Structure 1
């Protein structure tokens, strides 16, 4: 199947180049806000968040009067990102020197008395400045702990999307209490702020307290030295995934293969047998190194020896050996394939990885983005990175056809979001006259409402991708996107409804400004801009949006509102599955169609009239054309309303 998303990048080198203090572009941007009490750093995997935290923390210790720094990571392996680091040699004023005694990301239970006691001893020890622990240790250690003891401390939480505003989230509850009852400083870091569910990371009230520093995916990838392109694609299978895995697993590429969760429909329920099958499909196991845990497999096609890491085996002794080996990898030849289940996602560093192959639908956008981040690190051994999702397609005999279809739609939704966050950003302004020319990086649009309030401007600057994630995860939107709904209804009814739910504090004018920003940004990011020489010899810029090719000087908000910004991926999908499967998808979408509203009916009524005039008949509700069917539903809805109004 062709990639649904494919990007080419300029290899500018900007994201890896350092300044006079040894800071990369993202780190310098974060350091500029070092005086803020609450910082939320949203930056892609491999952009250098760990070192950015070191710079900020040391400034708070040396120059802002703070006494201690506590760094919390979701799992022990990520603690190595905060190991002692020489920063002075590159121009910074101090080195990062945590002690081994207070690095609690060591083997053993996070709930152990020893680690909890060590945490409490650190808080009492006036000489020690830095502690590194897991989220779990932080939760256990702070139970019954006075919040005031966090006065003059910096609490840094890595992979911040693990925090939740849900009442059952102990980490979120702990954080809210500390913020409310102490003078703590907080640096929250995440490579993905999308939770993939309906629970926000922070309440709107708490989130408003944070200064947000955003370094987007396009800035990161476009600024690499080696990586030139990224592809995101889907392959579909029927039956067991093991029968299809060899079609998408290319052992010439350095690959992380995530097998499905044992509780998912894609799993065979025997994870060990799945690993054995994958190894057998590659070739013959020669040996497993007893010291490192590396499995040596002789490939069938040419006899080449491949080095494989099995992270599915969760026996502590075996896992610790191979994890330790993976931490020390120094060159591409040290590993060829990693097979994992729950590990090797966030914070896992294997820069040589070229292909992230994931089996089964992943319900969390955060998880998908973290997995993609495993293969998008810059490395001299690759110019292209690839993410492939192997997912089950519905079968006519499948009783769970609705589940299968919904999973397909949600998986494609994730690629649509990645398509948005990985593309270059534009600034949009109102075009006032024909003489009003575009500026570099700016597109001017007639009728466009620019953000006027501070609140909307802040959302556009730092939260636009998060808002798009919310929109794309909405069930109504997911059934509307594939063409089952008129584009104007998507843009003018569904999207503003979602915006109002996410930001209830916005007034109608602010909602409209934000709606236009979302729609325009979504359409333009998907579009291509071309320069065409006219008959008069003058170069003019045209923009290709969906099936429209428009002079960029003639752009109007009404024209953009007539385009479904998310339909392209589904057009690729329709060419990549069988007609029978496509029919099932359409029927499933139809069965879960959104209900008609007065607002939608008013938009569709002129289109009903135009259809009747053009075709000499009313639209057919049973038409395979989604738009015609929806127009027919509109007509029925309006007739019912008329009968109710007339009292019949």
Structure 2
């Protein structure tokens, strides 16, 4: 196994601390922007996005004159995050209240026919009720039905919140994207989009540039979140290779003493070699001997070679028993005082095996290892999976993500595909290193500049002076440098092509060509000066961690000289 990234954090506890009205730092940052009509919140898993939405929605209803709130989630299991919540006990002016009948993810209608859920949506729009929680799909069908009867004006003065916003796409075939575009361009409703992914989309952008420009972005970085944790202090990102079938590579990387989520390969992928349930059975056989099942949870009981009995939750098998397993996973073990029993809740389950589930919105704070089998084309999916392992919990000081991919070789069916998958897995890991690092800001450093060459503020932003740096010449270029760099880095990590590997082309020339093309395709109306300023900022961010490692080896005495150099090689 190769460890690509290992990031240590400060355990300051600040990201979990609350202010006088019960808001964590991320929530307070979002709440400060509550007057904006269109909000785009990017924050990592467990940062508290659902409660941030509650604070803002209540202000929209109570002080900004909006009539209703519609919260849209991608699947019913996430709807529980938006159930009625006590906020006044922690200092806020009102509680978040959702009538049971209007949380369509929890009201008993979640498994009802589509027509029944759409009728409930129509009834809500015609009622005096203030808050509805539904799935993306129910909203799409409900919007069409209400618009057909009353016109799009029925959605004026409504606050529309879309959770897991990366499901939206600017593609003309994406119905949710079409609806959102119409609502935004009409400029009568308010919209808040929330996502734990820092990337707009892996192939098609989430929003068209002209639509995205209407949104006020609020970004809370992985670094801010993890550095402010109380217990977790390090995250490792690894990749490992296997020959033949992926089962051959599991024994080396699967530590059954760690709380682990295993994601088996997508069906139809090169790594999937058998029926999904057969693959799960073989994984269980590797772990130990199946000795039964727990009646009240449906968890499989497996005895290991050293005599431990592990509880394994199988979310791959879609037989009726899976609902029992899902319910047991979602149920928190509480003590007599009504608070979580840490020891009991941690002991509830040891390993979860999943296919398409246990990603976004899935909360298992005790997870110490997210093990993903097979290359994942979507960086958004990688971020979501890593997020399952980055919750803070008592006694949990380390966590890791491992991607198990096929080792390229003559026995590999399609050698080229295997090599590409390996390189993309590595580039995904390197990109995550950028995401997990502090936020960097750069300024042009002149002779006699009295500013510190390197400074760090209380939010983890590192400001670095670079001689010769071209600063953004316009407001638009400056906004791109401040808000879009993680997206651009995601694209760049995937776009490095043969020119970068060509020995006849200097690396700095190849990098300059690739980055310039990325920026020009993404922002068609930028001037050459704006494009070059953005390129230099992007190149600096992509190189800064390499420089930091080099300077750590050479010592701080030489650090200022390195950062004071020119950007000719960027």
Change beyond 3 A, Cα 1:340–1:512:
same
Change beyond 3 A, Cα 1:512–1:389:
same
In the aligned structure 1, how far is the partner of 2:491 from the partner of 2:80? 33
The answer for the alignment partner of 2:338 in structure 1 is none
- On the 8 A contact 1:296/1:305 being kept in 2, the answer is yes
The answer for the alignment partner of 2:140 in structure 1 is 139
Question: Superposition pairs for residues 379-528 of structure 1, below 5 Å?
Answer: 379-434=393-448, 436=450, 437-438=452-453, 440-441=455-456, 442-474=463-495, 477-481=496-500, 485-528=505-548
Instruction: Report the TM-score when normalising by structure 2.
Output: 0.92
Deviation at 1:291, TM superposition (A): 3.0
In the aligned structure 1, how far is the partner of 2:553 from the partner of 2:98? 61
Write the deviation string for residues 565-614 of structure 1: whole angstroms up to 9, x where unpaired: xxxxxxxxxxxxxxxxxxxxxxxxxxxxxxxxxxxxxxxxxxxxxxxxxx
Pairing partner for 1:320 from 307, 319, 323 = 323
Question: Superposition pairs for residues 241-280 of structure 1, below 5 Å?
Answer: 241-280=246-285
Write the deviation string for residues 30-76 of structure 1: whole angstroms up to 9, x where unpaired: 00000111000011111110000000001101111111111000011
Change beyond 3 A, Cα 1:481–1:24:
farther
Write the deviation string for residues 530-577 of structure 1: whole angstroms up to 9, x where unpaired: 88999xxxx95334xxxxxx833642112x42xxxxxxxxxxxxxxxx
In the aligned structure 1, how far is the partner of 2:564 from the partner of 2:182? 53
Deviation at 1:478, TM superposition (A): 4.3
Runs of 4 or more above 6 Å deviation: 529-534
Could you tell me which runs of 5 or more consecutive residues in structure 2 were left unpaired when the two chains were aligned: 334-344, 457-462
Deviation at 1:216, TM superposition (A): 0.9
Write the deviation string for residues 425-480 of structure 1: whole angstroms up to 9, x where unpaired: 23211121155442523321111111221111111111110111122222xx1445
The answer for the alignment partner of 2:341 in structure 1 is none
Instruction: Report the TM-score when normalising by structure 1.
Output: 0.81
Deviation at 1:529, TM superposition (A): 6.7
Change beyond 3 A, Cα 1:73–1:354:
same
In the aligned structure 1, how far is the partner of 2:410 from the partner of 2:520? 39
The answer for the alignment partner of 1:74 in structure 2 is 74
Change beyond 3 A, Cα 1:215–1:532:
closer
In the aligned structure 1, how far is the partner of 2:389 from the partner of 2:230? 15
SS in 2 for 1:239: coil
Report the count of equivalent residues: 545
How much is the aligned-residue C-alpha RMSD, in angstroms? 2.0
In the aligned structure 1, how far is the partner of 2:16 from the partner of 2:75? 26
The answer for the alignment partner of 2:120 in structure 1 is 118
Could you tell me which runs of 5 or more consecutive residues in structure 1 were left unpaired when the two chains were aligned: 544-549, 562-648
The answer for the alignment partner of 2:227 in structure 1 is 222
In the aligned structure 2, how far is the partner of 1:40 from the partner of 1:212? 5
SS in 2 for 1:15: helix
- On the 8 A contact 2:473/2:529 being kept in 1, the answer is no
Pairing partner for 1:281 from 286, 289, 295 = 286
In the aligned structure 2, how far is the partner of 1:110 from the partner of 1:255? 33
- On the 8 A contact 2:38/2:192 being kept in 1, the answer is yes
Give the structure, 1 or 2, with the largest relative contact order (CA under 8 Å, sep 6 or more).
2
Deviation at 1:397, TM superposition (A): 3.7
Say whether residues 1:307 and 2:306 are aligned partners: no
Change beyond 3 A, Cα 1:155–1:533:
closer
Write the deviation string for residues 79-130 of structure 1: whole angstroms up to 9, x where unpaired: 111111100000000111101101111464475211110011000101x111
- On the 8 A contact 1:540/1:551 being kept in 2, the answer is no
Q: Which segment drifts farther, 487-496 or 264-273?
A: 487-496
SS in 2 for 1:344: coil
Say whether residues 1:542 and 2:558 are aligned partners: yes
- On the 8 A contact 1:472/1:478 being kept in 2, the answer is no
Change beyond 3 A, Cα 1:332–1:483:
farther
The answer for the alignment partner of 1:166 in structure 2 is 171
Between Structure 1 and Structure 2, whose CA radius of gyration is higher? 1
In the aligned structure 2, how far is the partner of 1:157 from the partner of 1:240? 40
The answer for the alignment partner of 1:333 in structure 2 is 347
Q: Which segment drifts farther, 384-393 or 237-246?
A: 237-246
In the aligned structure 1, how far is the partner of 2:553 from the partner of 2:56? 51
SS in 1 for 2:54: helix
In the aligned structure 1, how far is the partner of 2:9 from the partner of 2:490? 23
The answer for the alignment partner of 1:21 in structure 2 is 21
